[in-house]
Amino acid sequence: MTDRIATLIARAEQEGLLDVAYATADSPVGTLTLAATSKGLVRVSYYDTDRVLEELAGEISPRVLAAPGRLDGVRRELDEYFNGRRRDFDVAIDWSLVHTPFRRAVLERTARIPYGKTATYRDMAEAAGNRAAVRAAGSALGANPVPVVVPCHRVLRTGGDMGQYAGGVERKRYLLELEQARP
Amino acid sequence: MSGRRSSGVTLPPFQTLLDEHADTVLRYLRAAVGANEAEDCFQETFLSALRAYPKLRDASNLRGWLLTIAHRKALDAHRARGRRPVPVEQVAEVTVTDDRRAEPALWRAVRRLPAKQRSAVFLRFAADLDYVQIGQAIGCSDAAARQNVRAGLAQIRKGWAR
C-alpha cells in the first residue's frame, strides 16, 4: 500500500468514513476474508473476496476499504488458533448481518461451546428457546457471518454425523481435528 | 446506510473506485495543479467522494464522478494559490517529472490558460473525459466544452510557436 493510500485510509478512519474495513488472512483452511466495522468483527468468509465485499457494500455500507490495521487483532488470534496456541477468541463482534433474534441467540450460544467440545443442532435450538426449531437452528448456523470465531463447526447432528458447513464439510472436519474435538 | 436499500442503486465497494481510478485522478491532478499540490487535492478528492458515496444515485460513471470532484478540488487549489505569494512554477518544475505522459512544460502552459479553457483541456487530455462529461464537470454544454478545448489548444500553440 502506498503512503498516499495509507494517508487516505487514516484520514477516513479519523473522520468516521471507514464504515467497513477488510483484510485477507491466509490459513490452513484457505484464504479468509475478514471485515470489521467500528463496532467489531462483522464477517469472516471462505468465499471469494470480491463477492464478500459486494455483500458488505449492499448489506452494511458501500464505504468498504482495504484497511488491514483494524483487523490486526483478529488476524493474530486466528494465527494463534490455527497454530494450536489459542482456544478462545477475544474480539468484539458486530452482529449486523444476523437478522433475527432467534439466529442471534443460536450464534451467541454457539460462541460458548468450549474448544474441543461439540454440541448438536437440537442443543442449540433448545438453548435459543425453541427445542423444535432444529432446522432453523441449522439455518442460523449455516448463515453464521463469523465462522471459526463463532465456532459453528462444533455443532453436529444428533448421533455425531458431521452435518453441514458453509465452508464445506472438509473444513469442518479439519477444524474439529485441529481441536481434537469430542462430544 | 446501505447504497442498495436507500437509493435503489447497487454501489460497488469503495475500494473498487480506488483500485480502478486512483491513478487517473492523480494523473489529472498532477497536470492540473502540479505534483506537490496534487497530493493534497488527491486526499481531498477521495475524502469528499467517500463522504458523498452512500447517497450517490447513479453508479454508471464513477470515473467521471470522481474526476468532477477532482476538478472542483483543483479549482479550489488554483483559487487558494491566487491568494498566496508562492513561486509555484519553480516548485512544479522540479517535481512533475515522474509522469512521462504529462509533459511538465506543456502542462504548465495549460495552467496559465483562463479557468474554463484550462479545466476543459485538462479534463480532455489528462483525464480523458468526453465532451459531454467535461460539460457536466464544468457546467456548460458539450458544444461549449469542445469550444473551450479548441480555444485552449489554440492559445497554447500560439505560445509554443513564439
Q: What is the pLDDT of residue B109?
A: 87
pLDDT over threshold 50, residue A65: yes
Q: Which residues of A belong to the active site?
A: 152
Inter-chain contact A60–B2, Cβ cutoff 8 Å?
A: yes
**Structure confidence at residue B94 as a pLDDT band (50, 70, 90):** very low
pLDDT for res B83 = 64
- C-beta separation of B7 from B66 below 8 A: no
Whole-angstrom CA distances from B34 to A136, B94, B145 are: 60, 10, 23
Q: What cell was used for B6?
A: 436507500
Has residue A157 got a pLDDT over 80?
A: yes
> Could you tell me how many residues make up chain B?
162
Do B42 and A4 make contact, defined as CB atoms within 8 angstroms? yes
Cβ-based interface (< 8 Å): residues of B facing A: 1-5, 10-16, 18, 22, 26, 39, 42-43, 46-47, 50-51, 53-54
Of A96-110, B87-101, B126-140, the range with the lowest mean pLDDT is B87-101
For chain B, what is the domain count?
1
Please name the fold of domain A101-178. Arc Repressor Mutant, subunit A (1.10.10)
Do the Cβ atoms of A7 and B43 come closer than 8 Å?
yes
Q: Which of B123, B112, B92 is nearest to B155 (CA)?
A: B112
- In this predicted structure, what is the pLDDT of residue B7? 53
pLDDT value at position B95? 42
Name the β-bridge partners of A35: A22, A43
CB contacts of B36 in chain A (<8 Å) are none
* CA pair distance B130, B13, nearest whole angstrom: 25
Q: Which pLDDT score, from 0 to 100, does residue B111 have?
A: 86
Neighbours of A131 (CB within 10 A): 12
- pLDDT, position B86: 46
CB contact under 8 A, A11 and B47: yes
A3-82: CATH class: alpha beta
Task: Specify whether the CB–CB gap between B155 and B113 falls below 8 A.
Answer: yes
The alpha carbon torsion through B153, B155, B160, B162 (nearest 10 deg) reads: 160
User: How large a percentage of chain A has pLDDT more than 70?
Assistant: 99
The string of pLDDT tens digits covering residues B109-133 is: 888 899 889 989 999 998 889 999 9
Mean pLDDT in residue range A40-56: 97
Q: What is the pLDDT of residue B137?
A: 86
Give the bridge partners for A119, in sequence order. Answer: A155
Rounded average pLDDT over B16-36: 93
Instruction: Please give the model's pTM, rounded to 2 decimal places.
Output: 0.85
- Dihedral, A108, A112, A118, A120 alpha carbons, nearest 10: -30
Q: According to CATH, where is 1.10.10.10 located in chain A? A: 101-178
pLDDT, mean of residues A37-55: 97
Which among B2, B22, B53 is the nearest to A58, CB-wise?
Answer: B2
Could you tell me the three cell numbers for A11? 484520514
Percent of residues, chain A, with pLDDT higher than 90: 92
* CA A37 – CA A39 distance, rounded (Å): 5
Domain membership of residue B36 as a residue range: 3-161
